[in-house]
Amino acid sequence: MSTKVLVIDDSALMRKKIRAILEDAGFEVVTARDGQDGLDRCREEDPDVVTLDINMPVMDGLTCLSHLMTEMPRPVVMVSSLTEKGAVATFEALELGAVDFIPKPDGTVSLHIDRIADELVQKVRAAARAKGRIALRGRTAGRTASPRAATATEPAEAPARRSTARPARVARREPAARTEPVSGGGVPKGLVVIGVSTGGPSTLERILPKLPADFPFPVIVAQHMPATFTSVFARRLDGLCDLAVLEVRRSMPIEVGNIYIGKGDADVVVARRGARRVVTSVPADPQHLWHPSVERLVRSVLEHWRPERVIAVQLTGMGYDGAAAMKELHDRGGKTIAESEDSAVVYGMPRELVELGGADVVIPADKVAGQLRTWARKMAAEFAHAPA
């Protein structure tokens, strides 16, 4: 039985092109012209996956998504413009419960949508596999949705048969405009590295804010994501976390008190500058399929850090990026965590690590921060008087 996909986009050209891409890949496709029409079509067609544009008349994508996640949760892949404004809206969509996103190459109406055809097909397939884990998460996200002002294209009054109001959001502190690492935390005795892809933003938001301000190790994250999105994501996380969160755009000293997010469309690696270890952004290596590359990050850590002082975490994502390097880290005395299948949006990257025999523990995302706190404190105490 083929997977049914509902494509919601106000552009007839985009609906036609996305439909053709997905039908060529074997999906059954139905379409809708705006968010309100999309809700009606979703009730009629009961699709397995929805692709959803953000900027639409009558009912925008975020309002439509909040209704979908509350009333009839299912995997949703956002189709977003590759701009900072589009990135902000996309992260709100992920908070509401969307599984993943894919940026249009040329903005709202993309004449070159074929450039992302393979990625679109892969993400829709991954979303379909995640269908069984969406319902509870979607309902929870839908209840914690953030308010959003009506756009100029939305009607002055919502249709009487359906409210487009969205629940109030829990207040969070305003993100700081951090451009420098927090210093004064001392030379780190250990390091945490995290690899993550599909479903990563919402998963990281369940883990990183639980790390306290006195967490003894710095954290480096390789999240597969475009450059426009990683800068917005770092600012967003900085507003949630006690630790400082920075996007790595240049060489930065690795210091306690910081979480480093690898810049998108590039790779993030550990290197040495004199006697100091730094984290830096380097051009994407074409030998690796995904960027920032988890594999390349972990292998750079193995070159410059004692394995027994490193904790590596493999979270949700399709593919296998980082699994081989984390297995080597594990075999050389490092600690490794793989997210379990019951919490992973896509159980690809963590499963690869588990199947290689490279995971010390396999736990759901909600338990990762606790495991990190336990291990990091024990390791910090053990190596307190040893050279860095």
Q: Which residues are catalytic?
A: 197, 224, 321
Q: Return the residue matching tokens 């307190």.
A: 384
Max CA distance (Å), the chain: 69
370 vs 348: CA distance, rounded Å? 23
Distance CA 379, CA 388 (A): 12
- How far apart, in Å, are the Cα atoms of 175 and each of 62, 109, 237, 245? 22, 31, 8, 10
Structure tokens at 364: 């759901």
Q: How far is residue 103's CA from residue 116's CA, in Å, rounded to a whole number?
A: 8
Q: Taking CA 214 as the corner, what is the angle to CA 88 and CA 244, rounded to the nearest 5 degrees?
A: 25
CA angle 183–185–191, rounded 5-degree value: 105
Structure tokens at 373: 């706190």
Rounded Cα distance between 152 and 31, Å, is 24
Burial bucket for residue 186 (CB in 10 Å: 0-12, 13-18, 19+)? exposed
What residues form DSSP beta bridges with 310? Answer: 191
Contacts with 312 (C-beta within 8 Å, 6 or more apart), sequence order: 192, 193, 194, 195, 298, 301, 322, 326, 329, 330, 334, 335, 336, 337
Give the whole-angstrom CA distance, residue 290 versus residue 319.
9
DSSP 110: -
Tokens of 288: 């690796």
Q: Provide the token pair at 264.
A: 């998108």
- Give the span between the Cα atoms of 326 and 285, in whole angstroms: 19
Nearest Cα residue to 220 out of 318, 298, 295: 298
